[in-house]
Amino acid sequence: MIPEYKKILYATDLSANAAHAFRHAISLARRYDGRICFLHALPEIDASVVNYVATVMGETRLIDLELEHKKEVVEQIRERLQGFAEEELAGHPEDLKRIEQIEVHHGNPVPLILSLADQIDADLIVLGSHGKEKMRHAFLGSVAEKVLHKTQRTVMIVPL
């Protein structure tokens, strides 16, 4: 059976390569009359930084501040992603309807991508690749490479 990409998970870090990878996702969505789910993962703050700030501010104040701003940050990122899509699709407003949902979550991007791909039953995961320096890549790997090796789903990695 020839695959059709009806449900596309487009994961972005809002880097310079985001638009290039998004264009591939939208092209496939057009071709297969598919829908796109955006995902942006907000990195967790390092535990040592949290401990330091909690010591300086007081743990209760830090928790209150974090709760106040977590929703605000998520909404700002969601609006930025919506604006990004509108800008990219300015000449094709009908394609905005292909964006089914915009998800913004805190945490490690790899498990978030894999989990959301399972939740929406994605036919394809589209990711941009940064092409980071070779030494760091040799030891840590990239999000794209980790996703590629941890899923049975089809993955498109779009290089810079």
pLDDT-based confidence at residue 124 (cuts at 50, 70, 90): very high
How many of the other CB atoms lie within 10 Å of CB of 49? 9
CB 78 within 8 A of CB 102: yes
CB 48 within 8 A of CB 91: no
CB 153 within 8 A of CB 123: yes
How big, in percent rounded to 5, are the helix, strand and coil portions of the chain?
55, 20, 25
The model carries a pTM of: 0.83
State in words which class domain 7-44+76-158 has: alpha beta
What pLDDT sits at residue 72? Answer: 82
- Give 21 or 159, the one with higher predicted confidence: 21
pLDDT digit string, tens, across residues 67-123 = 567 788 889 999 999 999 999 999 999 999 999 999 999 889 999 999 999 999 999
What pLDDT sits at residue 98? Answer: 96
pLDDT digit string, tens, across residues 28-42 = 999 999 999 999 998
Is the pLDDT at 44 greater than 80? The verdict is no
- Give 157 or 73, the one with higher predicted confidence: 157
Instruction: Record the tokens describing residue 12, joined without a space.
Output: 């972005």
Spell out the domain ranges in the chain. 7-44+76-158
pLDDT-based confidence at residue 141 (cuts at 50, 70, 90): low
